[in-house]
A and B are shown apart, each in its own frame.
Chain A
């Protein structure tokens, strides 16, 4: 089972090549005329030299050493690893999208501008927001864009508000983003229900509060029931409410952030709207805002005029650009395709099934693992392996043991408010049989922990490599291949 795959640099032979190129069809000028010697590269260029079949074999071998949603269940909490429809890939690859340059004249990209315009209308309806920008390309990028707009809004109103409140259950990107935008981060504790501690929140709010960043349902998979009171308190203090849309998949058609009082929303199109995660991107961190923040949106925005669609660059209050061009347009095409196939009923059913699958699986697992917040969940739930930890194998070990059953493990050790956390998000695209077999695997692992914790601590046993030594990777840092070290 165990087997290493040679690196590209350890394969091939000098002189091999995996591409054919056209001959030069203009008269060749001596290189020295075009490029003075002093500007020329002296350093050798140590790229691998392989034929096309070798390149294909190498990467095909690598692909078999990787688990994707198409390989099997991937209940990675807060990541919404739902199935990615194949038709989306075909749509984004159409030459009329994939081969278009971002600086073409507006009249040559009317279909693209129409798609962006329509996608904005749909996402406004789904979120209850007033305007949308597609420029941010990842969730954290959307957060940054949102906080920059909030900052610009306060500055415009002559207010110096430099604190951003973040619940202790928040994604790590929330505090990191707030710091990156120059804010001071204030942590708000959760209460016994796993929800924002309202009293503590009110205590923390003040004339220096720029915003509260909130995920709803939160990272415990619980709906913030006091959301209207939270929104009222934040707004009364002069702050704005930011919605981290990582968990929107739970509530489509049931509730909208715009109606909950949120002023800025980011959406992870690669989560809720079924575009693939790409091994860690590209995604899209599309941002929606209420009217009062619209003037601060990044430029340009798509508008519809008498002569057709156009890009509006004339936005004097805009925070500016956050991306070289128009964001991950190719990802937006995939999300748009998904939206057009699902329609309003389909999206609502997706959320209903996501929540049903999560509650069903939670119900099956709670006799086996400690469930710190035992109440109806939304699209995900968080277990604690604290009992198993006492027996010698914690959440991380359980995750590794799941690999031997062919499952991608849940998110582990997050959220931080739960000790030995296992954060499970099944999504709506999994069958009941899959949920059942996952529950059985978890029960089997729990039994193993009781009987033979050492075996669990040594898992995985069936993967292409055994458990990897992460501490050594830091200690003996090697982040590139080199001939000398080989």
Chain B
């Protein structure tokens, strides 16, 4: 019988246990399932495979995909090919962590609880914000939760989002806001950056918040001077989507007055995995903590005064507050938060600054070389971090097919999201890309036009 090695009961034991209950057969235990809804046939599923067979099968499926292990990848846009120290997978692979669940029973969950407390501290350190939660699903839903929280905190119903925010995040925002009857409005861009000249006019007494991304979707670092002041003067909040890996170099969100900081933490130790599991992180000022979505871990003591950690402020949450909860979130992305914490512990402030600097320098090298190629153009001036847009001769699909012939995973197609750019792709250069690999990309682009 298939899957037997996961099922300890023997037929003999099944018989004895049924006898103990006073049942004749397992069927007796399903007597409450009305005949009319009973499945009167066997399910039609492929025949079971043995462990060795299933692994062979999965390997065959995996072999049909190209990936950053057999190609040189310049893809970004929210998920990146960063180096992950071996330590990360060995720690997250410890099954005391990964086979546990939400740490409701604190005394036997100190491992996960302390790791999350440390994670929360690291997110606060990176962003400069006062409080962080234990994680949300991903960057997109973290921003959506931030938008909903801002509406609740301000008793307002309209949220502005810059057109330079990740287009998929804006789609998720739209889905969440529409369903709840909240209004999402786009703030236009100029030269690849938020058109702050239009902000004042877009603000009104019903605007709860403005959502910006830094670096923005094009990799540009926007000038935040005066933005928070303008918003705060009109009673609106500033919600920032940030890349945690950029924060050792770029201003911390608290330095330009952000109220809510959310974003994608995949770059901190989680593999790309076709875009999931990811890590939504979420931080805010202390005064907003009781409105925060998600789990929060706090410090306390036992009777003897030993330090310990527990889930706290649970009165915000669905299992206590039900329809009056701040969010419906229950399971989050705890193991990815653990990966981020281990990653940050390994890198430390020095290592993290170095990774950010490597990205900055290598991306600048790639950008300048590509911009100098005839037929290619970086459409916007400005300060870039790790990514940049490039206008290309021909479509992205055509170009990427050419690059793939040389085992290069090329650009992310910008045309569906920003048709005004014409044929254009977004290129990302992480610390993993070598000069040789960048030069290869440049040669291929040169040869393609």
* A and B co-occur in one complex: yes
Binds B, one of A61-69, A382-390, A444-452: A61-69
Q: List residues of chain B with CB within 8 A of the CB of A8.
A: 118, 341, 345
Min C-beta distance of A128 to chain B, whole Å = 8
Instruction: Take A96-B63, A108-B66, A344-B45 as given contacts and tell me if A177 and B131 are in contact as well, using a CB distance cutoff of 8 Å.
Output: no
Nearest A residue (CB) for B172: A321
Among A40, A64, A341, the residue within 8 A (CB) of B111 is: A64
Q: List residues of chain B with CB within 8 A of the CB of A141.
A: 137, 141, 329
> Is B273 a contact of A329 with CB atoms below 8 Å?
yes
Q: List residues of chain A with CB within 8 A of the CB of B28.
A: 376
> Is B302 a contact of A466 with CB atoms below 8 Å?
yes
Binds B, one of A79-87, A200-208, A233-241: A79-87
Among A36, A364, A474, the residue within 8 A (CB) of B383 is: A36
> Is A102 a contact of B349 with CB atoms below 8 Å?
no
In the complex, A38 Cα to B14 Cα: how many Å?
Answer: 72
> Is A111 a contact of B100 with CB atoms below 8 Å?
no
The proximity string for B residues 1-43 relative to A, scoring 1 for CB distances below 8 Å and 0 otherwise, is 1111011110001101110111100101111111011110011
Nearest A residue (CB) for B71: A108
The proximity string for B residues 314-344 relative to A, scoring 1 for CB distances below 8 Å and 0 otherwise, is 0101111111110111111111101001101
The proximity string for A residues 159-193 relative to B, scoring 1 for CB distances below 8 Å and 0 otherwise, is 00000000000011101111111100100000000
Among B21, B99, B347, B348, the residue within 8 A (CB) of A69 is: B99
Among A85, A97, A178, A474, the residue within 8 A (CB) of B65 is: A97
> Is A429 a contact of B8 with CB atoms below 8 Å?
yes
Does B154 sit at the interface, judged by CB under 8 A? no
Does B201 sit at the interface, judged by CB under 8 A? no
Among B169, B273, B365, the residue within 8 A (CB) of A26 is: B365
In the complex, A465 Cα to B139 Cα: how many Å?
Answer: 35
Does B295 sit at the interface, judged by CB under 8 A? yes
> Is A96 a contact of B97 with CB atoms below 8 Å?
no
Among B124, B174, B306, the residue within 8 A (CB) of A2 is: B306
In the complex, A19 Cα to B272 Cα: how many Å?
Answer: 20
Nearest B residue (CB) for A482: B121
Binds A, one of B51-59, B186-194, B204-212, B231-239: B51-59
Among B51, B65, B301, B345, the residue within 8 A (CB) of A87 is: B51
In the complex, A431 Cα to B249 Cα: how many Å?
Answer: 54
In the complex, A349 Cα to B118 Cα: how many Å?
Answer: 42
Min C-beta distance of B373 to chain A, whole Å = 17
Q: List residues of chain B with CB within 8 A of the CB of A321.
A: 140, 168, 171-172, 175
> Is B97 a contact of A66 with CB atoms below 8 Å?
yes
Q: List residues of chain A with CB within 8 A of the CB of B63.
A: 96, 111
> Is B6 a contact of A474 with CB atoms below 8 Å?
no
Among A90, A92, A323, the residue within 8 A (CB) of B138 is: A323
Tally of A interface residues using CB under 8 Å? 206
In the complex, A431 Cα to B239 Cα: how many Å?
Answer: 51
Q: List residues of chain B with CB within 8 A of the CB of A476.
A: 300
Among B18, B36, B273, the residue within 8 A (CB) of A98 is: B273
Among A100, A182, A253, A336, the residue within 8 A (CB) of B67 is: A100
> Is A59 a contact of B105 with CB atoms below 8 Å?
no
Q: List residues of chain A with CB within 8 A of the CB of B78.
A: 324-325
Instruction: Take A111-B62, A429-B7, A431-B9 as given contacts and tell me if A469 and B44 are in contact as well, using a CB distance cutoff of 8 Å.
Output: no
Instruction: Take A21-B351, A63-B94, A432-B17 as given contacts and tell me if A50 and B345 are in contact as well, using a CB distance cutoff of 8 Å.
Output: yes
> Is B383 a contact of A21 with CB atoms below 8 Å?
no
Nearest B residue (CB) for A327: B276
Instruction: Take A7-B118, A175-B322, A255-B33 as given contacts and tell me if A140 and B44 are in contact as well, using a CB distance cutoff of 8 Å.
Output: no
Indicate the size class of the contact surface on chain B: 35 or more
Instruction: Take A281-B332, A353-B9 as given contacts and tell me if A18 and B345 are in contact as well, using a CB distance cutoff of 8 Å.
Output: yes
Nearest A residue (CB) for B317: A172
Among A69, A345, A357, A470, the residue within 8 A (CB) of B2 is: A345
Q: List residues of chain B with CB within 8 A of the CB of A196.
A: none
> Is A66 a contact of B112 with CB atoms below 8 Å?
yes
Q: List residues of chain B with CB within 8 A of the CB of A254.
A: 30, 33, 38-39
> Is B352 a contact of A45 with CB atoms below 8 Å?
yes
> Is B328 a contact of A176 with CB atoms below 8 Å?
yes
> Is B48 a contact of A42 with CB atoms below 8 Å?
no
Among A27, A144, A280, the residue within 8 A (CB) of B101 is: A280
- In B275-291, the 8 Å CB interface with A consists of 275-278, 289
> Is B61 a contact of A96 with CB atoms below 8 Å?
yes
Instruction: Take A97-B65, A110-B65, A468-B308 as given contacts and tell me if A173 and B328 are in contact as well, using a CB distance cutoff of 8 Å.
Output: yes
Q: List residues of chain B with CB within 8 A of the CB of A85.
A: 6
Does A272 sit at the interface, judged by CB under 8 A? no
Nearest B residue (CB) for A60: B94
In the complex, A227 Cα to B33 Cα: how many Å?
Answer: 9
Q: List residues of chain A with CB within 8 A of the CB of B202.
A: none
Nearest A residue (CB) for B350: A17
Nearest B residue (CB) for A402: B105
In the complex, A299 Cα to B289 Cα: how many Å?
Answer: 33
Min C-beta distance of B186 to chain A, whole Å = 14
> Is A359 a contact of B6 with CB atoms below 8 Å?
no
- In B365-385, the 8 Å CB interface with A consists of 365, 383-384
Does A480 sit at the interface, judged by CB under 8 A? yes
In the complex, A327 Cα to B47 Cα: how many Å?
Answer: 27
Among B98, B124, B304, B307, the residue within 8 A (CB) of A68 is: B98
Min C-beta distance of A257 to chain B, whole Å = 9
Q: List residues of chain B with CB within 8 A of the CB of A429.
A: 6-8
Does A138 sit at the interface, judged by CB under 8 A? yes
Q: Among the interface residues B296, B301, B352, which one has the most CB atoms of the partner chain A within 10 A?
A: B301
> Is B120 a contact of A479 with CB atoms below 8 Å?
yes
Instruction: Take A144-B328, A324-B172 as given contacts and tell me if A62 and B114 are in contact as well, using a CB distance cutoff of 8 Å.
Output: yes
Q: List residues of chain A with CB within 8 A of the CB of B105.
A: 67, 399-400, 403, 408-409
The proximity string for A residues 7-42 relative to B, scoring 1 for CB distances below 8 Å and 0 otherwise, is 111001001111101101111110100111011111
> Is A228 a contact of B255 with CB atoms below 8 Å?
no
Q: Among the interface residues B51, B168, B308, which one has the most CB atoms of the partner chain A within 10 A?
A: B308
The proximity string for B residues 242-270 relative to A, scoring 1 for CB distances below 8 Å and 0 otherwise, is 00000111111011000000001000000
Does B406 sit at the interface, judged by CB under 8 A? no
> Is B331 a contact of A280 with CB atoms below 8 Å?
yes
Instruction: Take A56-B91, A108-B409, A115-B61 as given contacts and tell me if A70 and B328 are in contact as well, using a CB distance cutoff of 8 Å.
Output: no
Q: List residues of chain B with CB within 8 A of the CB of A92.
A: 273
> Is A225 a contact of B32 with CB atoms below 8 Å?
yes
> Is A41 a contact of B255 with CB atoms below 8 Å?
yes
Among B138, B225, B355, the residue within 8 A (CB) of A137 is: B138
The proximity string for A residues 396-428 relative to B, scoring 1 for CB distances below 8 Å and 0 otherwise, is 000110010000110100100000000000001
Q: List residues of chain B with CB within 8 A of the CB of A274.
A: 6
Q: List residues of chain B with CB within 8 A of the CB of A84.
A: 95, 98-99
Instruction: Take A24-B361, A62-B111 as given contacts and tell me if A112 and B65 are in contact as well, using a CB distance cutoff of 8 Å.
Output: yes
- In A321-344, the 8 Å CB interface with B consists of 321-331, 333, 336-337, 339-344
- 11 inter-chain pairs at a CB distance below 8 angstroms, sorted by A residue, are A26-B361, A63-B111, A91-B55, A94-B59, A103-B413, A151-B179, A179-B328, A331-B276, A340-B48, A346-B3, A363-B20
Q: Besides the contacts A148-B175, A350-B6, what 10 more A-B pairs have beta carbons closer than 8 Å? A: A7-B114, A47-B344, A62-B115, A95-B62, A109-B274, A111-B61, A279-B97, A281-B331, A468-B301, A473-B298
User: Which 4 pairs show the lowest CB-CB distances between chains A and B?
Assistant: A325-B275, A96-B62, A102-B275, A66-B111
